[in-house]
């Protein structure tokens, strides 16, 4: 009888552990991203307290979660942007209409790969290397009613980068406090606009730029001397 009781207790314990393991596994599992292979505007809807990911052209991944229901459209130029992972967490006091447009560059704002900028309250130049810019628009007239986190997957190319938004009044990019959390560059905001990541220029960048200018000047001087020499020989 004692052996039977031990066996029953063992089976019961195993069943409990198996159940807990399965529950934890289900809770930890994330739904795979919804594939979006179409070009142009993609309508979406996410119910309150849900987290949903969309992967455009099997490249750019956008994840949205909120305490309210959100619907709108996403226009993502994934073929140009490539493999980026962006996420936003939103807390609002009512359901939202929210549209997002993702591009590689925004020429009308001067945002082009390789460009450098002297931004507000920074004593160094920042460069645009990320190749990801997102414009977020909502139907909320009072932005104070929204709190949001913006996240983008960190990598070797954007280490030390900072989130910035476009200020249309002063016509400049404005940096906000950015931290790295669980492999993401994260900022908090109540202001939706154009957002991107700018990277601080390093001394190596400055040296490379300087050497590039010096090389051009040196080649030009040699060319002039060579032309003068050939004319004298004639």
Summarize pLDDT for 71-124 with one digit per residue, the tens. Answer: 999 999 999 999 999 999 999 999 999 999 999 999 999 999 999 999 988 888
φ and ψ of 155, to 5 deg: -155, 180
Report yes or no: 111 and 95 within 8 Å, Cβ to Cβ.
no
Q: Residue 69: which pLDDT band, with cuts at 50, 70 and 90?
A: very high
CA distances from 40 to 24, 53, 104, 149, 229 (A): 38, 18, 15, 25, 60
Q: Is there a contact between 146 and 190 (Cβ–Cβ < 8 Å)?
A: yes
For residue 107, give the 3-state DSSP assignment: helix
Q: If you search the block for the tokens 């983008």, which residue do you land on? A: 152
Rounded mean pLDDT, 206-227? 50
- Domain spans of the chain? 1-30, 34-201
Q: Strands 194-200 and 162-167, how do they pair?
A: antiparallel
Quickly state the pLDDT bin for 203 (edges 50, 70, 90): low
How is residue 105 written in tokens?
A: 């560059």
Percent of the chain with pLDDT over 70: 72
Helix (H) or strand (E) holding 203: helix 203-233
Structural contact between residues 161 and 178, judged by C-beta atoms closer than 8 angstroms: yes
- The single-letter DSSP state of residue 48 is T
Residue 12 is predicted with a pLDDT of 42
> How confident is the prediction for the chain on average, in pLDDT?
83
* Sign of the alpha-carbon dihedral angle for 32, 149, 41, 166: negative
DSSP state of 84: -
3-state DSSP assignment of residue 15: helix
Using an 8 Å Cβ cutoff, are 201 and 209 in contact? no
Residue 2 has a pLDDT of 52
């Amino acid at each position: 009888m004692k052996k039977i009781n031990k066996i029953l207790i063992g089976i019961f314990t195993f069943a409990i552990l198996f159940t807990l393991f399965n529950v934890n596994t289900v809770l930890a599992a994330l739904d795979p991203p919804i594939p979006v292979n179409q070009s142009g505007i993609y309508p979406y809807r996410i119910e309150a307290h849900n987290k949903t990911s969309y992967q455009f052209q099997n490249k750019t991944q956008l994840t949205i979660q909120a305490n309210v229901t959100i619907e709108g459209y996403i226009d993502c130029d994934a073929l140009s942007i490539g493999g980026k992972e962006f996420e936003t967490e939103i807390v609002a006091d009512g359901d939202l209409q929210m549209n997002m447009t993702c591009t590689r560059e925004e020429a009308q704002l001067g945002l082009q790969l390789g460009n450098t900028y002297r931004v507000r309250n920074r004593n160094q130049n920042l460069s645009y290397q990320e190749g990801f810019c997102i414009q977020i628009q909502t139907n909320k007239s009072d932005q104070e009613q929204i709190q949001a986190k913006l996240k983008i997957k960190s990598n070797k190319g954007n280490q030390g980068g900072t989130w910035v938004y476009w200020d249309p009044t002063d016509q400049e990019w404005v940096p906000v406090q950015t931290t790295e959390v669980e492999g993401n560059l994260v900022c908090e905001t109540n202001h939706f606009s154009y957002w991107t990541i700018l990277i601080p220029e390093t001394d190596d960048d400055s040296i490379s730029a300087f050497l590039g200018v010096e090389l051009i000047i040196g080649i030009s001087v040699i060319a002039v001397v060579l032309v003068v020499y050939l004319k004298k020989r004639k």
